[in-house]
Every structure is written in structure tokens, then in C-alpha cells.
A and B are shown apart, each in its own frame.
Chain A
Amino acid sequence: MSAFKDPFDASHSLTRGCSCGLHHDEAAHQADLAGQTSDSELLGNRVVEAAVMRALFPEDATRRRFINAVGAGTAMAAISSLFPLGMAKEAFAQSGPLEKSSIKVGFIPITCATPIIMSQPMGFYGRQGLNVDVVKTAGWAVIRDKTLNKEYDAAHMLSPMPIAISLGVGSSPIPYTVPAIENINGQAITLSIKHKDRRDPKSWKGFKFAVPFDYSMHNYLLRYFLAEHGLDPDRDVQIRSVPPPEMVANLRADNIDGFLAPDPVNQRAVYDGVGFIHTLTKELWPGHPCCAFAASKEFVTKMPNTYRALLKAIMEATAFAAKPENRKQIAEAIAPANYLNQPVTVVEQVLTGNYADGLGNIKKDPNRIDFDPFPWHSFAIWIMSQMKRWGQIKGDVDYARVAREVFLATDAMKLMKEAGMKPPATVSKKFSVMGKEFDPAKPDAYIASFAIKRT
């Protein structure tokens, strides 16, 4: 980001300080966020001027002396007369051609992937000039390996996965990013129909549960839920990782007693009469993140135009999916065999929130699943706090730094504006999970406050 520092400012301090940590001061942060075309052009102009200035005076000290002597305005005018700044600025403003127009994005067939999937049949990728193949993948470990292998340019991942990959937990460390969260809410705890009279979690001792992956919100939420009810998730119950598509088959075969899973798995268990929805995860933590749109840092930096076009398509799709009136249409687009391969009614019940609970009741909850792309840094910090709580990561963690490097909140703010959404003003917020407040500034105190933990 040093290109954005103003070399015409002879006095600016070299310490960095803004709310997201990417800009040299709060003003630059605001300017960057403004995101409107005129402002980003202005920013572009400044970058070009800066580059020329730096090329003419490679030594900081000389440059400062020159500017102090003649003043910034004069300096710029003097340089403009020598160098066609206007032309250079124009060349920079055009966001260059796509580095790669045919790209592959991997997904797991669950409704969390809605923005990634629907962008294909509904033409959001096409509008950005991208020809995207969305490829169905068998499980999280495979999608991770195929993305690390660069078979996929970007992928649908569980939001803790890019953090785990960046930290090198469960795989070799590779810098990974979450440019956008895909969905919030949209998960549920489903139990086998034979347990329909055991609704009190305290009576679940000895249950076998399934979650999609070790590094998933599902795992952390289920552990949190059980621990809040006094059950030790490692000793009193068994939690195993099962790919979402295999969960209903396992529940039917009585291999497991229940699962905390993404949809349409929960609704499918109801549809087939093998399970009932005990509780939606939005009751645990309203607005929690689930899956993420993930890309390697290498992709983000080496193919900035493709990255921006792809992210823009996802943002627009997310904005479209966030509107309840569009949900039915989306359900029809993503239910066929090429995508989720589920009966339309199952997908529709998940997306509209007008659903059968498996016990003979029809429930109405329009926020059952919702779409909000903003990658809050506080989400990342909460995820790391749970990774540490359950012993997946040991030792000291620089929460804020990892959150900043993995969850690309600033890019998301800009592109959300372009997609007509309202991004928040800050990158971190407090929230509460099952009535207990989480302060992103004090993750270690938060971990220490739990009775059941593995630290």
C-alpha cells in the first residue's frame, strides 16, 4: 500500500494508523472507502503523480528538500510540464483487461454457496466478462487441495478454512484471503426423528454428532452450544467430520444421532422423514457467518482485474440474493442436477424460510438464511478464539493481524458500494453468542472466561 502514500507531503509521519490498518492515516482510509468513481480516480491520479515523483527523486531526503523548497503545488506543476501526467493518469484509470477470462470456481453443493452458484445460471459472471465454470467438489479437504493446486482459481470454503490455511493448521501455510462472506445464518441442528422427545441438550450425553469439517463454523457453534449446556464436546459426545451430502444417509442409517449442518441437508432430512430441525443456528448467534468466497493471496495480487471482476459478480449476486422477493427464482436456478441436485421445494424452503420442521409444524422465518458479504474482522477473531479454545492452535496468536490479512474488509467495502449495498463504517464490531458478549479487542480474556476449554 506504500504506493498510496503521498510523496508530496513532506511532513507525514511514518507510523501507520487507521481503523483497518491498511492506510497511513484515517483520511486516506476514508478516501479509499469512499469508493465512488470520482474519488477512486482521484486516488488513481495521486498514485500516478506519486510514481513519477518517486522516479524523479528516488531518495526520500532529496525529494523532501525539493518539496519544502518550492512547495507541493509548484513541484507538481513543474513536473507536469516535463511529463505528460494526464496520459499516464488516464492509462491507470482504465481498469486493465482481464488477465484470465475463463476461470474455475469450486463449490460444495449446499445453499451457502448460493451467490457463487447462481452467478453462473443467472449471468452475474457473464456481465463482468467472465466465463466461469462452477465445479461441484466432493468435500472440504478436496476443495482445499484443488484450490492449493491451482486447479481452481477461487473456491467456496468454510470461513475458518482460509484462516487455518494461512496459519498452516491442517495443511502447509499459504497466504489465503476471504474477499467476501457468502451467507449468514442458514445452518441448523438436526436430530434423528427417534429423538423427537429428547429436546433438552442436557440429555444428549453419548450422542454422536456430525459436522462438515474440523475447521468449520459448524464445529465451533456445535461445541459452543453443547458447552453452554454443560456437555464437554470432547468427552460427553462424539463429534465427527462428515461431508454434508453424506450426512442424511448416515442419519438414516443410525450412524449418527444428529448434526449441525449447512442446508439443504437439514431440510432434506425433514423431506425424507429421517430427522427434525431442533434449532436454527441463528437462535445461537443471529447473523453469524458461515461460508466464504476464498482465493489465494497470489490470485488477488497477480490477477487484480480478474479478482475484482469476480468479486464484483459475487457482490452483485449477494445483493440480489439478500432480497427476499428473489429467493424463489434463485431456488429454481440452483436446484437442478448441475448445481445442488435437490428437489426444488427443499431449496425453496431453505431460502424463503417458510419450512416444515419435521415434527408436523410449518415455521416462518424469513431470516433463516441471509446474505451479507461483509468480512468483519471480528468474525475472524472469534473464529481464531474458538480454534484456540479447542486446541486447534497453540501459543500466542496475533488476532488482529491475521484477521486483517485474511478478511479483506476494505476491498469488500468498495465493491459493496459499487454493487449498491451499504457497507458498514467499521471493520470490527461486538456481538453476542448465546447471550454472551464478544469483544474483538480482548479475545484472550474471552477464551479464559469459558469453563469448558482445551487450553
Chain B
Amino acid sequence: MNRLLGWRAPLLSLVVFLLLIGVWHALTLPKSAAQTVNAEYAALVGAEASTGQKSAFPSPRDVGVKILEHLRDPFYDHGPNDKGIGIQLGFSVARVLLGYLLAALVAIPVGFLIGMSPTVYRALDPYIQVLKPISPLAWMPLALFTLKDSSVSAIFVIFICSLWPMLINTAFGVASVRREWLNVARTLEVGPMRTAFRVILPAAAPTIMTGMRISIGIAWLVIVAAEMLVGGTGIGYFVWNEWNNLSITNILTAILAIGLVGMLLDLMLAKLTKLVTFPE
């Protein structure tokens, strides 16, 4: 039974994939329409416009060819505005990691302190709740105006958006450490620092890691939007640049790449979470 399940799931995945591609292919079959304009005019416009239609959605084949093209040379550099998709992804990942690590450096200690004191927790909660749902794009004009540097602004936006889930989860994890464990520590006359590192931290670690995992997902969501706005480098800029060229094939390629990298980042955090989880 288990062995049967083992290959059933991948098979179903494959069927879903083929079905998707099949439907996509069928929907984008080229319509054979007669040319409605003379040859001289047709040379000046796109293939679809010459038959009186709007340009069509690309077929799976077009996208496949484009992906292979990108895979063949992902690291080319043709000047400041035209770099390979590998380089663009690299820029984005670097920005995300930098902003994310800065956020972790702030959120975890601060969250720890907030979580230790119920009064502070309740006093700061309204601010956190108001700041948490603000869209990254709303921060951007403010950041550009005050920080006066677009790449620092992008990192700041990552920082500010990935800060809150980590902060809240850390505070919550620290606040909900079981009373008995703290009481045991107190009876054994363990110092406050030692209690923090040997009792509270390990107990709150799984909740903290969950917050970190939510944050990396948000950070990766935010970077595409931020880079589309700021431009220059990164996968968000790549999407914007290809939108400018109305190249849906390139945009689909980028969407796939964004999804894959996002999944990898999430997997890494999931592995780390497993390391600190303990059975009760």
C-alpha cells in the first residue's frame, strides 16, 4: 500500500502538468486567418495585427524555447540595463537576504524583550498591528525621500515588511513558554540570562522559526514589487523591462523562476525549523 502511494502522487502531479500544458496548447493554437492588408503594411506590424487581430498569448512551445534560451546563457551582461536572468535573480536574492537578516537581527532580540514583559507586550501591540499590514509599495516613496538611495530603499522595504511576522512570533513564542518550566528554573535558582538562553529560547525556538519562515516568504514577495518600482537590477526589474516590451514569454519565464527560488528559500527555512523542533 505504501509503495503504491509512493508512485501515485508523482504520477498525479505529472498528469496535472500534462493537462495544464495540453489546455494551454489548445487555447493558443494559431488561428489561421487570411491577411487583411497588403504585404508592405504587413512588414511594418506584428504577425497578428496583419490579420486584423491583437497579438496572441504565447504557446507552451514558445515559452519552452525561451526558457532554454535563458538557461543556455543565464549570466550574460550586455550593459547596465540588460543582464542575464541568473544575474538578476542573484541581485534579488542578495537584497532579500540582506534586508531579511537585518530584520531578524532587530526582530528577534526586540521580540524577546517584548515577550518577557506582558505590559510592554500589550503597550506595543497596537503599533505593531497598525504597521504590520502596510504594503511595501506604500513605504517606497517615503523611503526614497528620506534615505535618498534607491538600492538602500529596496533593502529597507524588505526589512520593514519582514520585520513584523518575526517580531510578533518571537514575542508570542517567548510569552507562551510554559509557566512550569520557568518555575522549575526559578526553584533551581538559575540566573536570568541562563533562563533566557537555556529555557526560554529553546522553548520558543519553533514559534520563532515559524515567524522567520513567514517572513522569508513575504520578503520574496516584496522584492519583485520593489524592484519593479525602483528598477535597475533584479528579477522585478527584469519583469518590468519585459512588460515594457510586452514579451509575455519572458514574463512567464520570470514567473517560473520567481516561484522556484521562492520555493527553495522556503525549503531552507523548513529544514532549519525541523532542527529546532522538539517533541513534548
Contact = CB atoms under 8 A, between A and B. Distances in A.
B41 interface: yes
Nearest to A146: B150
A270 B41 contact: no
B148 A274 contact: no
A336 B149 contact: no
B229 interface: yes
Contact of A151 (B36, B46, B150, B237): B150
A245 interface: yes
Nearest to A104: B80
A293 B188 CA distance: 74
B265 interface: no
Contact of A338 (B82, B141, B145, B228): B82
A147 B55 CA distance: 36
Which bucket holds chain A's interface residue count? Answer: 35 or more
Interface string B143-160: 011001110000000000
Contacts of A248: 246
B81 A136 contact: yes
Q: Of B44, B52, B55, B78, which is in contact with the most chain A CB atoms at under 10 Å from its CB? A: B44
A175 to B, nearest CB: 18
B245 interface: yes
Contact of B49 (A141, A271, A337, A341): A271
B232 interface: yes
Contacts of A355: 44
B230 interface: yes
Nearest to B53: A273
A435 to B, nearest CB: 31
Interface in B53-79: 53-55, 78-79
A256 B18 CA distance: 37
B76 to A, nearest CB: 10
Contact of B78 (A337, A360, A361): A337
Contact of B144 (A149, A336, A338): A149
A88 interface: no
A9 interface: no
A345 B78 contact: no
Which bucket holds chain B's interface residue count? Answer: 35 or more
B241 A136 contact: yes
B48 A273 contact: yes
A426 B55 CA distance: 49
B150 A149 contact: yes
Given A337-B78, A360-B36, A271 B45 contact: yes
A142 B49 CA distance: 33
A338 B81 contact: yes
Interface string A303-347: 000000000000000000000000000000000111101110100
A337 B82 contact: yes
Contacts of A137: 231
A356 B38 CA distance: 11
Q: Of A246, A249, A270, A338, which is in contact with the most chain B CB atoms at under 10 Å from its CB? A: A338
A358 B52 CA distance: 9
Contacts of A356: 41, 44-45
Contacts of B244: 109, 245, 341
18 contacts: A136-B81, A138-B228, A138-B229, A248-B246, A272-B48, A272-B49, A273-B46, A273-B54, A274-B55, A338-B82, A339-B81, A341-B82, A342-B245, A345-B44, A355-B44, A356-B41, A360-B37, A362-B40
- The 8 tightest CB contacts between A and B, nearest first, are A273-B49, A245-B244, A338-B82, A356-B44, A272-B55, A149-B148, A138-B231, A338-B79
